[in-house]
Amino acid sequence: MCRITIAEAERDFANLVNRVYSEGIQVDLQRDDKVIAHLSPAAPRSSLKVRDLNAFLLALPKLQDDADAFLNDVRTIRRDIPAETDPWA
């Protein structure tokens, strides 16, 4: 669990809330040396934590004889579905 001061949280509150939501982190907010609030996700989006992602990916089954078919499927999807463009660019 992360602990930051109220002043630190104030500086970039939107980013802090986004990290709590997207990464599932929990943050203790402190004033002086006392924790006065706790920021945590309303509900977990997934039981998988960011810190566990590499182990999860390494544990996935490896492609076997179906690797070529999978590659062809991905190429077909990329060809048939255009990439999204950034409307702000």
* Domain regions of the chain by residue span: 2-80
Whether the pLDDT of residue 29 is over 80: the answer is: yes
pTM of the full predicted structure?
0.48
Query: What is the rounded distance in angstroms from the CA atom of residue 25 to the CA atom of residue 22?
Result: 8
Pairing of strands 2-5, 27-31: parallel
| Angle CA 2–36–19, to nearest 5 | 35
Rounded to an integer, what is the distance from CA 11 to the centroid of its chain?
Answer: 21
For the segment 43-71, what is each residue's pLDDT rounded down to a tens digit? 766 777 788 889 999 998 888 888 889 89
- Taking the chain, what is the end-to-end CA distance rounded to the nearest angstrom? 37
pLDDT, residue 7, reads 93
